[in-house]
Amino acid sequence: MHWYTERLGCAGPESSLIGELKRRYPAAPVGFPEGANDEYSTYLHLLVNWLEIEAASQFLTHERAEETARRKHYYRWIYRTVLDDWSELEELFASAISCQ
């Protein structure tokens, strides 16, 4: 998923997508176990982890993919936020894909 977002070119540190995620989640945590290694990585993983769950849902049920994500011992805030705000993030990410 990291390679996909990198190739997509819409989620760089200065992108409008990351800017919007910062606006929506100004107090996003950094560091284990809630966030990623740095601020940018935490915001990027909102997209990466959303894509991960969406892809897994193609092979499992969405409920099973969600259950698996909720059990992770790392990125806990990220996974919770992705799952709690699924539809809103889906809409945001769908619009970001058209950035090319």
Domain residue ranges of the chain, discontinuous segments joined by +: 2-97
Q: What is the 3-state secondary structure (H, E, C) of 29-93?
A: CECCCCCECCHHHHHHHHHHHHHHHHHHCCCCCHHHHHHHHHCCCCCHHHHHHHHHCHHHHHHHH
The per-residue pLDDT for 20 is 96
Residue at 15: amino acid letter = S
Q: What is the pLDDT of residues 69-86, one digit of tens each?
A: 999 999 999 999 999 999
CA distance 78 to 48: 10
> pTM of the prediction?
0.91
